[in-house]
Amino acid sequence: MPRPELKEITFTIDGREVKAPENMILVDAAKHGDVDIPVFCYEPKLGAPVGACRMCLVEIEGIPKLQTGCSTPVKDGMVVHTATDRVKEAQQAVVEFLLINHPLDCPVCDKGGECPLQDISFGWGGGKTRFIEPKRHFQKPLELSPLIAIDRERCILCYRCVRFSQELSEDYQLILHERGAATFVGTFDGHPYVAPFSGNIIELCPVGALTSRPYRFRARPWDIEGSGSVCALCPGQCNVTFTVRDDRVLRVLARENEGVDDGWLCDRGRFAYQAIHVDERITTPLFRDGGVLRPVSWERALDEAASLLKKAGPRVGALAGGGTTNEEGFLLQRLMREVIGSQHLDASGVNPDDLWTLLDPELQATVPDLEFAHTVLVLGTEPVDDMPIIDLRIRKGVRRNRVKLAVATPRPSSLDANAELSLRYAPGGEGALVAALTAAVYGGDVVAPAEAAGADADAVRALAELLRTGGGDAPGDVVIVWGTSMLQTDGGAVAPALLKLTAGLNVRGREGAGLLAVPASANERGLLEAGVAPGMAPGFGEVPEGEAYHVEGIAAALRAGDLTALYLMHEDPLRDRPGSAGWDHALEKTTAVIAHAQFLSPGLEAHANVIFPAESYAEKEGTITHTDGRVQRLRPAIGRQGETRAEWWILGELAKRLGSDLGVLTGAMASKQLFDAVPFYKGLTLDAIGGKGLRWPADPDAVAAYPVPPESRRDSGYEAVPTPNGRLRLGTFRSIWASSEVEASPALKFLAPRQQVEMAPADARRLGVRHGEKVLVGSGGDGTTVEATVTLRDAALPGSVFLQTGITNNAANVLDGPLVEIRKA
Amino acid sequence: MANIGHLTGEGLQAVPRYAHGSRVPGWDDAVDLTKDPAGVPDPAQVSVPADLRASIEDYMSRYPDHRSAAIPALHAAQKIYGWCSPEAIEQVACVMRLTPGYLTAVAGFYDQFDLQPMGHRPVYVCTNISCSLRGADELLASLQDELHDSLDVNLRGFECLGACDIAPMVSVEGVYVGPVESPEEIAELAAQIRAGEDPLPAKQLLKRACQDPNSGPS
Amino acid sequence: MTDLILFKNIDEPGLATLDVYRARGGYGDRLRKALSMPRDGLVEELKASGLRGRGGAGFSMGTKASFMPKGQMDKYLVCNADESEPGTFKDRELMQKCPHMLLEGMIIAAYAAGATRAFIYIRGEYQQQADILERAIAEAKAAGLLGDRILGFDVNLELWLHRGAGAYICGEETALLDSLEGKRGNPRLKPPFPANQGLYQGPTLINNVETLATLPHIVEMGAGEYAKIGVENSTGTKLISISGHVMKPGNYEIELGMSSRDIIYGLAGGPGEGRSVKLWFPGGSSSPVLTGDDLDIPYDFNSMAKAGTMLGSGAIIVVDDQTSVVDVALKTAQFYRHESCGKCTPCREGTNWTVKMLERIKSGEATPMDLDLMASVCENIIGNCLCVLGDAMAMPVGSMVKKFRGEFEEYIEAARERAERELIASITPSVEVAA
């Protein structure tokens, strides 16, 4: 639904005339007049006010009873009093009531010093209590989950946490037991509250009832500093504030940015900071000497790396992983192209022309568009795993603005319950599915492509109908949230079909509509725009004619000996890329593997020759680009750990040793070079990007500078998914918890996923396996298998199974697919 | 001031409670970290008795929003299992596509749902003002004495049951009887409750006239 | 005394069946008359009758119906049959003896409100009454009196019975809506009022059983005739439930404006020989109490309001002079503490605190100063809560402290003395303490 328009009105508060948008909630509007109305339960991010705590009672002329400021929209001419005797009495009464059972253990409470209850008691309370009965006492603190402790004595029952669980993240695990004065917060039958966004309740709690177990007793508010930056652990790129004490990150808090995260954080973003300060981190340069990786001096490491590169000449490939900044990517491609003379570098692994076409600013939707669109289609991605924060945004749109949601994914989606329509197709059927959908929108043969996708043709038609009529008779504002990993399948059929679909839905150039890519890694868009892509200079510029290998090409060339050295930035292909068997073979053959890494992953441990310690995201300086085109700034919150040095500096030093000067003496100079090199980044400055980032697609000059993508290069032909013939089609997914940071964080370790194979009950019956049973999944041929636990899912598409990737042990990328066999372990 | 001296005495809590003051253990309990988080149960993983499923689905069909069926569905499950056991709640959650937490929160709010194993035959003694004025607290105490070993009976004091005209009164599995005053009557009622017989047939509310209370059976 | 309206034939055997109800004029000409009136005309008629809601708040039924928005949308009628106010049992009588009168009233109300779906929310404890209503609904459906095209008119009504599960607060209309939506029965913020955003966010008319059951009679008699019964601002007859210390507790149908003494002594026989009325709740346990000196106040909405209390649900609880006011206050406070939903602070904490103070008074650990504190806590609850439950405790308890302060003080002194004696006895077991 389109965004509402705001009208300005004038109202009077405590004798002062104040202007505010009409119908703004009084508590917020009062701030325009510099009047603070105290609140506990009111939190606009949680949706409609509930008026439970009664802290915000105010007097409004013409209404006999005191009113709650949290639920009163301001109107023109309204006269409000917040400091009359009557209001003060009510405020003092509420504070007195709230403190009846509150333990006042502030000296040992983690919230002390940053506690709204303390502040409000001081500011609006009576300063004394008349309650002489014993306070209630309970065991405390208790575990609510491995991450969260609950102290029920301190709870003032403001309901914020349960509202978050029930109405925001919609996991509905955190509940109120009992009623009245006996009410308490808990879960069903003692199950832990573990959910992707559970940590937000810690920040929401206005008292010390919910505290972070990893942060408990680590610091007092006066010991710490806040340092604003961006979480670079996933494509969501949420804005965060690092809580720093003695140069250590002790906590991560949300830093609200309406354009990115709406003020929430996922638990990975909130707790994975722990991986910054673990012993497993590589903090000195390592060099393989006599078959063993040993710490060496920077001089030695750089010299060795340079000499290995020199030896390889131009026969070097490079891969950059998701944690790489724009500047690092930009300098990497300069090193490769200008100094080494190789064009073989890649990050995303998909055809860059496809992304160039689909990231066109004319087609670009923004994150807030998800809230106000007529229709949102989630296509080939599971937001909660792939870009968690937009899961909340999609739910918000459906809940608050009745956005019509459609889901088309191979695997059952956590958004199915919110969707008007959910459609399943077989893994690998992406191209055919989009083709079928396009045909259904334009009119054409739907049945053949739908069959080829393993999807139900009627469901495809219904989806097309929903998209076509979302805005009444017209499509209205349609936002398609699509996973870029789709481009890796089906030989490139997806991009042209998707482009045609957008044309049919009239989204080009339309405000509030368009495509929103869910990248496969944190800075996929930025790296592409910085030129880390085969055959694509910064800003989709031209490169000299000649061969330029993408990811799989690099692996093949390494295996064939055409390339002899590999430069890996924040990347272990054995873990991060499909086809790990091929990569194992390739790394085996590679003479020199040079890596930037925080952790010694299995591939690096076995094959790396030189490893430079990589900065964590809290130490980095530079920019990353959000999938909707927002360039955001990483600012160092802490000093670099151990001997770690800036990575732009490493690239510069290597260039020097190879006889070139990249001309980078500071991080800011690297940014300047990048902004100058990418036409649509022209004029950007770090200052302008500031704390909230800057969306270049919102700048008409930048849009004009976007090079016109190539005309549709291929037919939108598609391949049919294979017929199982007694076997099963293999699909993969990467859980929100599948990451090296999760595995390295003491507090999050428990979430590191174990391999499971999801299947439909019908397939399980046929195979004679039960839920929870251990099985071996193999792709036949070479006898490679993955051990997994059977998970039955009622909504799964029969004939297909799903395994996890991105995990260290037993990951699905050892299997080739597309068909697998399952037998009991 | 003698005749309702026990008005607020022992044994009059409206609902049995645990030492920590709650009907569900919880105030002092941490979660069990070995359990998985409790999301919406997958129908492929939970089996539900066919008749329970059918009645829940029938309830769900009556309302524009299927969640409205939560209370009727919990009534149905409690009837089968005697209380809202975790299994019962999981089964209802599975059919209704809700989390078990949702249903636990609902069940915990209402007095008629038991979140602890209880006798499956509810016997409520109204102990609110009007009934107390007429000896309900003594009645409850006597019945507790008589029935303390009947484990299938869930005897408890209850807030006003809406039958102050037959105070003091008892609801025996939904059948209202009263006034129950003499020790003989109490003993007779207790015996009938224990045996599962029709309670005090002559004193059942449905047989009472409303306009002239003294003309009905006494 | 006027003729009985709701209770006419009430004890006739078989009145709960469709056949007998029809034979007594049910679902007949009056329903046809109602459904053939233009919708606005019917609403005007209801307004003109002066009928005020019989659930407790006493809001004009016709005016409430007129708040329902016009236009095509899903609208709902909800019958509040969650009769839980202590002392109240009149709706129960109607439902168990004449369920079809309620259904007929609901058809009329639904037509007036433009609602096509209706629910009866009956408290879970009324199992027998629910069974009787289920049978009546089934009969009515089978006879085409519910469903599509009722009596051949362009009026459709789908009606379901919904059982609650034991929560006083669900008698509050917005809590009832939450409960009917399958949630915990927490009251909602108002505005929005149910007429704009009620059940499932749709416009909703909510009325009490007695209110709805009266509608067929208003249509039959005509609003003018109905309005002649009773007194100004309190038209019609009222079912009242009398309980506690009276000889003949029960339900009575009276004309509003009758003297309270005539009700308590005349109809219900008074507290019996040698006893007198010490205090009485005129409108359920939520109403501030009156004393034996107030028996001559006429029983109607305005007179009760003038006396500082309310007619409420029409439930009179009589407490005789043999009973301690402290016990009554504690019982009252305990009930509201138990039934507070816990959503808003003053009610949740205030009811709990009040009980604790009364318990202290009982156990001899209070001083007369605590009465001031208790009065202050009650004051701090009143008007500051999300719904009226907190007020419903604070007003009667506050009124008891105010009107019986002397007795409270005596009680406190006596309890302290007793506690002191017990204490001394417990620490000096060998010494005989004079009683």
**What is the mean predicted confidence (pLDDT) over C211-225?**
97
Helices C405-427, C369-381: inter-axial angle, 10-degree rounding: 120
Q: Pick C89's closest partner by Cβ from B62, B71, B165.
A: B165
Residue C8's contacts (CB-CB under 8 Å, 6 or more residues apart) are C24
- Which of A275, A308, A272, A276 has its CA nearest to residue A289? A308
- Which of B35, B7, B1 has its CA nearest to residue B157? B7
pLDDT at C432: 56
Confidence of residue A716 (pLDDT cuts 50, 70, 90): low
Which residue segments constitute the domains of chain B, with CATH numbers given?
A: 50-109 (1.10.10), 121-207 (3.40.30.10)
Average pLDDT, chain A: 94
Find, in chain C, the residue whose alpha carbon is nearest to that of A88: C380
Note whether B101 contacts A792, CB cutoff 8 Å: no
The amino acid sitting at B29 is D
pLDDT at C430: 62
The answer to whether B163 contacts chain C (CB < 8 Å) is yes
Q: Pick B164's closest partner by Cβ from C160, C164, C249.
A: C249
pLDDT of B4 over the 50 cut: no
pLDDT (tens digit, 9 = 90+) per residue, A485-525?
A: 999 876 678 998 999 999 999 999 999 999 999 999 999 99
Output the CA–CA distances (angstroms, integers) from residue A821 to A791, B30, C84, in the order listed: 16, 42, 62
Measured at the CA of A677, the angle between CA A671 and CA A678, to 5 degrees, comes to 95
The amino acid sitting at A323 is G
pLDDT of B23 over the 50 cut: no
The answer to whether C197 contacts chain A (CB < 8 Å) is no
Which residue segments constitute the domains of chain A, with CATH numbers given?
A: 8-98 (3.10.20.740), 286-349+526-533+544-690 (3.40.50.740), 355-518 (3.40.228.10), 728-824 (2.40.40.20)
* Topology, domain C234-320: Ubiquitin-like (UB roll) (3.10.20)
For tokens 């039924």, the residue is C61
- Torsion, Cα B108 B111 B114 B115, to 10 degrees, reads 20
Note whether A175 contacts B23, CB cutoff 8 Å: no
Q: How far apart are CA A171 and CA B38, in angstroms?
A: 9
Q: Give the closest-approach CA distance of C381 to chain A in angstroms.
A: 8
Note whether C182 contacts B69, CB cutoff 8 Å: yes
Q: Give the closest-approach CA distance of C348 to chain A in angstroms.
A: 5
Find, in chain B, the residue whose alpha carbon is nearest to that of A193: B37
pLDDT of B1 over the 80 cut: no
| Side-chain-facing half-sphere of C147: CA atoms under 13 Å | 11
Residue C380's contacts (CB-CB under 8 Å, 6 or more residues apart) are A89, A90, A93, A96, A97, C346, C350
Q: Pick B211's closest partner by Cβ from C10, C160, C315.
A: C10
Q: Pick B8's closest partner by Cβ from C11, C250, C331.
A: C331
Note whether B42 contacts A177, CB cutoff 8 Å: no
Contact C351/C402 with Cβ under 8 angstroms?
A: no
Set of chain A residues whose Cβ sits within 8 Å of the Cβ of B32? 190-192
The answer to whether B30 contacts chain A (CB < 8 Å) is yes
Contact A557/A584 with Cβ under 8 angstroms?
A: no
Q: How far apart are CA A575 and CA A566, in angstroms?
A: 16
Contact A181/A191 with Cβ under 8 angstroms?
A: no
Note whether A181 contacts C350, CB cutoff 8 Å: no
Set of chain C residues whose Cβ sits within 8 Å of the Cβ of B105? 184
Find, in chain C, the residue whose alpha carbon is nearest to that of A58: C384
Q: Pick C182's closest partner by Cβ from B67, B171, B210.
A: B67
Q: How far apart are CA A792 and CA B41, in angstroms?
A: 11
Note whether A175 contacts B102, CB cutoff 8 Å: yes
- Three-state secondary structure call for residue C320: strand
pLDDT (tens digit, 9 = 90+) per residue, A227-283?
A: 999 999 999 999 999 999 999 999 999 999 999 999 999 999 999 999 999 999 999
Q: Pick B106's closest partner by Cβ from C4, C96, C183.
A: C183
Q: Give the closest-approach CA distance of A432 to chain B in angstroms.
A: 29
pLDDT at A713: 58
- Torsion, Cα C119 C125 C129 C134, to 10 degrees, reads 40
Q: Pick A176's closest partner by Cβ from B28, B40, B105.
A: B105
Question: For A133-137, A268-272, C287-291, which range has the lowest pLDDT when averaged over its residues?
Answer: A133-137
For residue C191, cis peptide bond before it (omega within 30 degrees of 0): yes
Output the CA–CA distances (angstroms, integers) from residue A766 to A727, A728, B45, in the order listed: 11, 11, 16
For chain B, give the secondary structure using H, E and C: CCCCCCCCCCCCCCCCCCCCCCCCCCCCCCCCCCCCCCCCCCCCCCCCCHHHHHHHHHHHCCCCCHHHHHHHHHHHHHHHHCCCCHHHHHHHHHHHCCCHHHHHHHHHHCCCCCCCCCCCEEEEEECCHHHHHCCHHHHHHHHHHHHCCCCCEEEEEECCCCCHHHCCCEEECCEEECCCCCHHHHHHHHHHHHHCCCCCHHHEHHHCCCCCHHHCCC
Note whether C342 contacts A182, CB cutoff 8 Å: yes
The answer to whether B109 contacts chain A (CB < 8 Å) is yes
Find, in chain B, the residue whose alpha carbon is nearest to that of C158: B62
Q: Pick B35's closest partner by Cβ from A142, A182, A190.
A: A190
* Token code pair at residue A774: 């251990």
Output the CA–CA distances (angstroms, integers) from residue A461 to A457, A500, B203, in the order listed: 6, 16, 66
pLDDT of A687 over the 80 cut: yes
pLDDT (tens digit, 9 = 90+) per residue, B28-38?
A: 778 888 889 99
Q: Pick B39's closest partner by Cβ from A152, A171, A190.
A: A171
Task: Give the helix/strand (H/E) hosting C158.
Answer: strand C158-163
Note whether A54 contacts C349, CB cutoff 8 Å: no
Parallel, antiparallel, or unpaired for β A316-320 and A630-634? Answer: unpaired
Contact C419/C412 with Cβ under 8 angstroms?
A: no
For C184-216, give the secondary structure using H, E and C: CCCCCCCCCCCCCCCHHHCCEEEEEHHHHHHHH
Question: For A260-269, A393-402, A494-503, C220-229, which range has the lowest pLDDT when averaged over its residues?
Answer: A494-503
Set of chain A residues whose Cβ sits within 8 Å of the Cβ of C340? 179-181
Q: Count Cβ–Cβ pairs < 8 Å, chain A vs chain B.
A: 119
Q: Give the closest-approach CA distance of B53 to chain C in angstroms.
A: 17
Confidence of residue A810 (pLDDT cuts 50, 70, 90): confident
Output the CA–CA distances (angstroms, integers) from residue A487 to A189, A330, A493, A513, in the order listed: 44, 23, 8, 21
Q: Listing from the earlier edge strand, what are the strands of the sheet with A565-569?
A: A292-295, A286-289, A610-613, A592-597, A565-569, A316-320, A345-346
pLDDT at B5: 32
* Token code pair at residue A400: 């608050």
The whole-model pTM stands at: 0.94
What is the CA C36 to chain-centroid distance, rounded? Answer: 32
Find, in chain B, the residue whose alpha carbon is nearest to that of A412: B42
Note whether B70 contacts C167, CB cutoff 8 Å: no
> Between residues 72 and 131 of chain B, which touch chain C (CB distance below 8 Å)?
72, 74-75, 105-106, 108-113, 124, 128-130
Name the region of A365 (left: φ>0; alpha: ψ -120 to 50; beta: rest): beta
Q: Pick A142's closest partner by Cβ from B20, B29, B109.
A: B29
Parallel, antiparallel, or unpaired for β A404-409 and C277-281? Answer: unpaired
Note whether B31 contacts A794, CB cutoff 8 Å: no
Q: What is the CATH number of domain C18-228?
A: 3.40.50.11540
pLDDT (tens digit, 9 = 90+) per residue, C383-428?
A: 999 999 999 999 999 999 999 999 999 999 999 999 999 988 888 7
**What is the mean predicted confidence (pLDDT) over C291-308?**
96
* Cross-strand bridge partners of residue A68: A57
Output the CA–CA distances (angstroms, integers) from residue A675 to A348, A530, A672, C281, in the order listed: 21, 9, 5, 80
pLDDT of B17 over the 50 cut: no
Contact A296/A327 with Cβ under 8 angstroms?
A: no
Set of chain C residues whose Cβ sits within 8 Å of the Cβ of B163? 89, 92
Residues in chain B: 218
Set of chain A residues whose Cβ sits within 8 Å of the Cβ of C360? 133
Contact A282/A597 with Cβ under 8 angstroms?
A: yes
The H-assigned helical ranges of A402-493 are 430-442, 447-453, 457-468
pLDDT at A817: 78
Q: How far apart are CA A425 and CA A733, in angstroms?
A: 14
Q: Is A193 exposed, middle or buried (0-12, 13-18, 19+ CB in 10 A)?
A: buried
Question: For A469-478, C131-140, C237-246, which range has the lowest pLDDT when averaged over its residues?
Answer: A469-478
Q: How far apart are CA A17 and CA A14, in angstroms?
A: 9
Q: How far apart are CA B205 and CA A430, in angstroms?
A: 68
Residue A472 main-chain phi, psi, to 5 deg? 95, -110
Output the CA–CA distances (angstroms, integers) from residue B191 to A408, B156, C122, C159, in the order listed: 63, 17, 30, 40
C313-342 as b/e: b if 16+ CB within 10 A: bbbbbbbbebbbbbbbbbbbbbbbbbbbbb
Q: Count Cβ–Cβ pairs < 8 Å, chain B vs chain C.
A: 191
* Topology, domain C325-415: de novo design (two linked rop proteins) (1.20.1440)
| Chain A residues interacting with chain C (CB cutoff of 8 angstroms) | 49-55, 57, 65-66, 68, 71, 89-90, 93-94, 96-98, 100-101, 130-131, 133, 156-157, 159, 176, 178-183
The answer to whether C349 contacts chain A (CB < 8 Å) is yes
Contact B164/B39 with Cβ under 8 angstroms?
A: no
The answer to whether B35 contacts chain A (CB < 8 Å) is yes
> Hey, which chains touch A, using 3+ CB pairs under 8 Å?
B, C
The answer to whether B40 contacts chain A (CB < 8 Å) is yes
Domain boundaries, chain C: 18-228, 234-320, 325-415
Find, in chain A, the residue whose alpha carbon is nearest to that of C188: A50
Confidence of residue A8 (pLDDT cuts 50, 70, 90): very high
In chain C, count of helices (H) and strands (E)?
17, 13
Set of chain B residues whose Cβ sits within 8 Å of the Cβ of C183? 67, 70, 106
Find, in chain B, the residue whose alpha carbon is nearest to that of A138: B28
Cβ atoms within 10 Å of C293's Cβ, excluding its own: 9
Contact A566/A312 with Cβ under 8 angstroms?
A: no
Q: Pick A188's closest partner by Cβ from B22, B27, B38.
A: B38
pLDDT (tens digit, 9 = 90+) per residue, A432-447?
A: 999 999 999 988 899 9
Output the CA–CA distances (angstroms, integers) from residue A681 to A509, A699, C127, in the order listed: 20, 10, 72
